[in-house]
Amino acid sequence: MAQQSLTASVKDVAAAAGVSLGTVSNVLNRPDRVAAATREKVERAMAELGFVRNESARSLRAGRTRTLAYVMLDAGNPFFTDVAQGIEHAAEGAELSLFLCNSDARASREATHLGHLEQQRVQGILITPVDPESPVLDAIAHRGTPLVIVDRTRRGAQFCSVAVDDVLGGRLAVEHLVDRGHRRVALVGGPLSIGQVADRFEGARTAWTSAGLPPDDLTLLVADSLTVAAGRSAGERLAGIPSGRRPTAAFCANDLVALGLLQHATTTGLQVPEQLAIVGYDDIEFAAAAAVPLTSVRQPRQELGRAAADLVLDEAGNPQHEHRQVVFTPELVARASTRG
Amino acid sequence: MAQQSLTASVKDVAAAAGVSLGTVSNVLNRPDRVAAATREKVERAMAELGFVRNESARSLRAGRTRTLAYVMLDAGNPFFTDVAQGIEHAAEGAELSLFLCNSDARASREATHLGHLEQQRVQGILITPVDPESPVLDAIAHRGTPLVIVDRTRRGAQFCSVAVDDVLGGRLAVEHLVDRGHRRVALVGGPLSIGQVADRFEGARTAWTSAGLPPDDLTLLVADSLTVAAGRSAGERLAGIPSGRRPTAAFCANDLVALGLLQHATTTGLQVPEQLAIVGYDDIEFAAAAAVPLTSVRQPRQELGRAAADLVLDEAGNPQHEHRQVVFTPELVARASTRG
DNA sequence: TTGTACGCGTTATCAT
DNA sequence: ATGATAACGCGTACAA
């Protein structure tokens, strides 16, 4: 019952139990090698002293930690928390702790986190980077920490990565809109420097031209971030277009933007989907939960996380590991926001 | 340029730089005590070897880590990610890393996380517990890790805690509805075993009876979780009430439930707020972003996190620390969902 | 089956 | 200004 302030060590336990230090260690790590009576005595001592293993000492000794880390791009976006869930499941299975960090899309914070994680000697780092081409990532891999890029890809093959085919996703979205008869469509999202956005819009354009539609009728509305606020502001610009030329449908680069656009439409009395159909991307829970449930392009978020974790664990544990680029296939989920 | 697989130690650096181990340590920790020329030499060696400090060794030596942890109740609920942001800011200011965990409202996962965190010897644990009365929490505090309860309170004063006055919040919500002329109101949420829910509804009832309204006209619709799905299902039950007796307004225990209810209303053609006014709780970003922007009771989420972090740091560093129960005041934010 | 001794990487103290 | 050394807590060979 002594309140040891978390400071009882194996040595203390040994003393209290009247055995040697090695025996305590054996109780901890090879319980079978120690007589039942002794073991019980030791366990009682541990309970009484409130003994807690010191992970720092264990890691130091073992040369590696029992920890994985995921650096999220935006913890406020449910997409990433779902990815994190997938990772966490995998980590749990491997009896690893998961260190969750949030870069909030700021390179400096990302760098700070990465620095800490390297010092912590985490077994591996999963990251949705602000910039997948950043040399910071190379430096880390070069120094030896396994690193997997999540939901982005990188030129070359210096890392494992797990992503979703965004070009295909964009194509699915626009094909769906064309199928439903739309002949003037807006692409809403940005900045275009984000690889995903560029890819999704590229796929969108491909679908458009493949359908033999005039490029001029595919309007690009660039947003400065993938947020609800950006969606609202895009809504204003959309409303400013004369109704004769105004797109009858919008494909948004993610669901947050789509929700913002939907809100703007609803509050200004624009009927969705009758006057404006909307397709989002990611299929976060809030997309289905919107007042007008959103059609969206679903990404296998949890699987994304799980696959990434598997890769990083392979890289950490398998000597003949080879970098792989896993690409998942997205899927269109049609809901009321496009049901004319 | 050597690829040391993250395995260069101060010893290696010392050898490479042709100085002693102590000097390298001084370069790291007291740069002023070492001659500029020597320092430069050492720094060059560190860069060449890709030296990275080993946090395990540092912690072991120092007897404590540079890490804080927050065990979230539900990482998928934006409320908690906002709280986490507040904590992270505080942690950043104190040059601490933040370990984010997600119990997902499961006691077993919570226990697992807590076990790991204790072994990690984190400086302090912030937690929104599944059950604030759980003896697991006492055990941890008893063993010496500072622990602060976030967004719940606990009988007695064995912990610091940071919460929001939920009774007041419930009162504000229902007063607002009564002010707007509603005479039949539903309380939607659950389970009632969750302290927050109970408190919010208690405040709601107080406001109701204080206004001299008959208790029978305050309908309780118990949900089995605080999720969007639960809100939808409550919507169905609400719709089942004959329109003459049906509540004209609903106060939901959180915004997720409110969003679910809103969705159900919208898809079934029930006008919000004309036929059904809705008040949510938490004021998460998605509340304002809903198609019909939600009136909600705002909690100072980031401040909550920051205050909790300050408390845990005080407990960790200040010998004459005393447990405190901080209670913030909520605030009603009126939006379209109650603007008849 | 149990006990002893050493090393993991870092830091601080002490001596030079 | 710099170098040598002990200590943090644990795990594991090795010895008994």
Interface test with B, best of A28, A55, A136 (most B CBs within 10 A): A55
Nucleotides of D under 7 A from a protein CB: 1-5, 7-13
In this prediction, residue A3 carries a pLDDT of 45
pLDDT for B157 equals 78
Give the number of other Cβ atoms within 10 Å of residue B132's Cβ: 18
Q: Which of B50, B81, B291 sits opposite A143 (nearest CB)?
A: B50
Using the predicted structure, report yes or no on whether residue B34 has a pLDDT greater than 50: yes
Q: What is the mean pLDDT of residues A265-290?
A: 94
Nearest CA in chain A to B123: A6
- Which tokens hold the place of B140? 């941890």
- Token pair of B207, please? 């406001």
Q: Find, among A182, A133, A97, A244, the residue nearest to B119 by Cα.
A: A97
Helices B21-29 and B36-49 pack at an angle, to 10 degrees, of: 100
pLDDT at A291: 84
- Are the C-beta atoms of residues A185 and A250 closer than 8 Å to each other? yes
**Which parts of chain A are beta strand (E)?**
67-72, 97-102, 124-127, 147-150, 160-164, 185-189, 218-222, 249-252, 277-282, 295-298, 325-328, 331-333
Residues of A in contact with B285 (CB under 8 A): 76, 228
Q: How far is A100 from chain B (nearest CA, A)?
A: 5
Side chain identity at A256, as an amino acid letter?
L
Residue A187 banded pLDDT, cuts 50, 70, 90: very high
C-beta of residue B4 within 8 angstroms of C-beta of residue B50: yes
A98: which chain B residues are within 8 Å (Cβ-Cβ)?
A: 101
Q: Which contiguous run of DSSP H or E holds residue A84?
A: helix A78-93
> Hey, do A64-164+301-328 and A166-300+332-338 end up sharing a CATH topology, with the first three levels equal?
yes
Closest by CA to A72, choosing from A57, A63, A82, A61, is: A82
For residue B155, the model assigns a pLDDT of 83
Number of alpha carbons in the 13 Å side-chain half-sphere of residue A216: 1
Whole-number average pLDDT of chain B: 94
CA of B189 and C1' of C13: distance in angstroms? Answer: 62
Q: Which residue in chain A is spatially nearest to B120 when comparing CA positions? A: A55
Q: Is 50 exceeded by the pLDDT of residue B183?
A: yes
Distance CA B132, CA B147 (A): 12
Q: Give which of A270, A248, A255 is closest to A335, Cα–Cα.
A: A255
Average pLDDT (A12-22) is: 93
Which residue is nearest to the C1' sugar atom of D3, using CA?
B20
Rounded average pLDDT over A31-40? 92
- At residue A2 the predicted structure's pLDDT band, cuts being 50, 70 and 90, is very low
Distances in Å between the Cα of A309 and the Cα atoms of A10, A91, A92, A96, A127 are 33, 7, 11, 11, 11
Subunit contact A6:B121, Cβ cutoff 8 A: yes
Q: Is residue A1's pLDDT more than 60?
A: no
Q: Calculate the CA dihedral of residues B4, B5, B7, B11 and round it to 10 degrees.
A: 10
Looking at residue B7, its pLDDT comes to: 81
Q: Which residue of B has its CA nearest to A59?
A: B56
pLDDT of residue B1 exceeding 90:
no
Question: What per-residue confidence (pLDDT) applies to B2?
Answer: 38
CA A20 to C1' C4, in angstroms, rounded, equals 9
Contact B293 A50 (CB under 8 A): no
Q: Which nucleotides of C are covered by protein (CB under 7 A)?
A: 1-5, 7-14
DSSP label at residue B329: -
Token representation of residue A231: 């969606």
Cα(B6)–Cα(A125) distance, rounded to whole angstroms?
14
Among B73, B87, B143, which would you mutate to test the A interface (most chain A Cβ atoms within 10 Å of its Cβ)? B143
Whether A263 and B81 lie within 8 Å, measured CB to CB: no
pLDDT in tens, B132-155: 999 999 999 999 999 999 999 988
Q: Kindly indicate the confidence band of residue A340, based on its pLDDT and cuts at 50, 70 and 90.
A: low
Q: Please write the tens of the pLDDT for every residue from A77-95.
A: 999 999 999 999 999 999 9
pLDDT at B3 over 50: no
Whether B231 shows a pLDDT value over 50: the answer reads yes
Using C1' positions and the CA of B33, the closest nucleotide is D1
* Burial status of residue A152 (CB atoms within 10 A of its CB: 0-12, 13-18, 19 or more): buried
DSSP B225: S
Q: Provide the CA A118 to C1' D15 distance, Å, integer.
A: 39
Q: What is the 3-state secondary structure (H, E, C) of B40-65?
A: HHHHHHHHHHCCCCCHHHHHHHHCCC
Instruction: Name the pLDDT band for B156 (thresholds 50, 70, 90).
Output: confident
State whether the Cα torsion A237-A239-A240-A246 is positive or negative.
positive
Q: Give the residue with minimal CA–C1' separation from D12.
A: A22
Model confidence over A297-328: pLDDT tens digits?
A: 999 999 999 999 999 999 999 989 999 999 99
**Could you give the angle at the alpha carbon of A135 between the alpha carbons of A90 and A319, nearest 5°?**
45
Asked: is B64-164+301-328 a CATH 3.40.190.10 domain? The reply is no
For C6, nearest residue by CA–C1' is: A61
Mean pLDDT of B219-227: 96
Q: Do A272 and A210 meet the contact criterion of CB atoms below 8 Å apart?
A: no
Residues 213-272 of A with CB under 7 A from strand C: none
Q: Is the CB of B36 under 7 A from strand D?
A: no
Are B7 and A144 in contact (CB < 8 Å)? yes
Judged against a pLDDT cut of 90, whether residue A281 lies above it is answered with: yes
Residues in a beta bridge with A125 = A69, A147
Closest CA to B273 of B258, B285, B283, B286: B258
Alpha carbons A92 and A86: distance in angstroms, whole number: 10
Q: How confident is the model at residue B4 (pLDDT cuts 50, 70, 90)?
A: very low
Domain boundaries, chain A: 10-53, 64-164+301-328, 166-300+332-338
Task: Give the closest-approach CA distance of B340 to chain A in angstroms.
Answer: 14
Q: Which chain A residues have a beta carbon less than 8 Å from that of B118? A: 6, 52
In A, which residues are within 8 Å of B289 by CB distance? 228, 259-260, 263
* Cβ distance of A75 and B85 shorter than 8 Å: yes
* Residues of A in Cβ contact (< 8 Å) with B6: 118, 121, 143-145
Q: SS3 for B60-83, per residue?
A: HHHCCCCEEEEEECCCCCHHHHHH
A6 contacts B118? CB cut-off 8 A: yes
Residue-level pLDDT at A5: 58
Comparing A246-255, B2-11, B23-32, the range with the smallest average pLDDT is B2-11
Contact between B98 and A97 using a beta-carbon 8 Å cutoff: no
pLDDT of B286 over the 70 cut: yes
- Which residues in chain A are closer than 8 Å to B65, comparing Cβ atoms? 56
Cβ <8 Å between A263 and B290: yes
pLDDT (tens digit per residue) in B14-31: 999 999 999 999 999 999
Is the shortest CB-to-strand distance from B44 to strand C under 7 Å?
Answer: no
Proximity of residue B10 CB to strand C below 7 A: yes
pTM, 2 dp: 0.93
pLDDT for res B291:
84
Of A308, A281, A305, A334, the closest CA to residue A165 belongs to: A281
Identify the pLDDT of residue A155: 83
A117-153 residue pLDDT tens: 999 999 999 999 999 999 999 999 999 999 999 999 9
Residues of A in contact with B301 (CB under 8 A): none
- Average pLDDT over chain A reads 94
Mean pLDDT of A278-290: 95
* CB neighbour class for A10 (10 Å; exposed up to 12, middle 13-18, buried from 19): buried
Gap between the Cα atoms of A130 and A72, Å rounded: 9
Whether residues B85 and A99 touch (CB distance < 8 A) is answered with no
Residue B121 has its nearest CB partner, among A54, A262, A291, at: A54
**Mean pLDDT over residues B225-242, rounded?**
96
Q: Are B6 and B50 a contacting pair, CB within 8 Å?
A: yes
Whether residue A273 is preceded by a cis peptide bond, meaning omega within 30 degrees of 0, is yes
Please provide the distance, in angstroms rounded to a whole number, between the alpha carbons at the two ends of chain A: 69
Nearest CA in chain B to A265: B291
Q: Encoding tokens for residue A197?
A: 């956005």
Instruction: Domain B166-300+332-338: give its CATH architecture.
Output: 3-Layer(aba) Sandwich (3.40)
pLDDT of A163-182, one tens digit each?
999 999 999 999 999 999 99
Residue at minimum CA to C1' distance from nucleotide D5? B22
Give, as one character, the DSSP assignment of residue B247. -
User: CB under 8 Å to B240, separation ≥6 — which residues?
Assistant: none
Separation between the CA of A9 and the C1’ of D11 (whole angstroms): 13
B9 touches strand C (CB under 7 A): yes
CATH of domain A10-53: 1.10.260
